[in-house]
């Protein structure tokens, strides 16, 4: 991120545009924060049901049980504040498609 910040504060950037560099960096950081998943989905052991949980706390359900993984993923996306497709892109990028069991 420091290379990006250095570019936005450079004379070259100032010659290219009049967009406030501090504003732009703040917006980029806000978007980058959204790109880290806080919620994931786990499968209940011995069951065919899924629930939403925090990443790293897969044994602690935060929601009711869902009958399909897709329904639980939609809820996780909603809790993350993302559209389902965007949530799934990030999830695939992070390699989080493995099912977790408790």
Helical H segments across 1-102, by residue range: 2-8, 11-16, 21-34, 69-80, 84-93
The residue whose two tokens read 């498609």 is 97
Q: Name the DSSP class of 63.
A: S
First CA to last CA distance, the chain:
37
Whether the per-residue pLDDT at 30 is higher than 80: the answer is no
Query: CA 40 to CA 97: how far, in whole Å?
Result: 9
Query: CA 87 to CA 76: how far, in whole Å?
Result: 8
Q: What is the pLDDT of residues 51-93, one digit of tens each?
A: 999 998 989 999 999 999 999 999 999 998 888 998 998 888 7
Consecutive H or E run containing 52: strand 50-54
pTM: 0.62
51 HSE (CA, 13 A, CB side) = 16
Mean pLDDT, range 95-101, rounded to an integer: 54
Q: What is the pLDDT of residues 32-62, one digit of tens each?
A: 766 788 899 999 989 999 999 999 898 999 9
């Amino acid at each position: 991120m420091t290379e990006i910040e250095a570019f936005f504060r450079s004379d070259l950037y100032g010659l290219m545009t009049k967009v406030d560099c501090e504003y732009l960096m703040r917006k980029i950081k806000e978007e980058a924060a959204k790109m880290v998943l806080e919620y994931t989905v786990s499968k209940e052991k011995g069951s065919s049901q899924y629930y939403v949980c925090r990443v790293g706390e897969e044994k602690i359900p935060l929601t009711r049980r869902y009958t399909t993984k897709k329904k639980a993923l939609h809820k996780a996306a909603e809790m993350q504040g993302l559209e389902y497709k965007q949530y799934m892109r990030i999830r695939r990028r992070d390699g989080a498609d493995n099912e977790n069991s408790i």
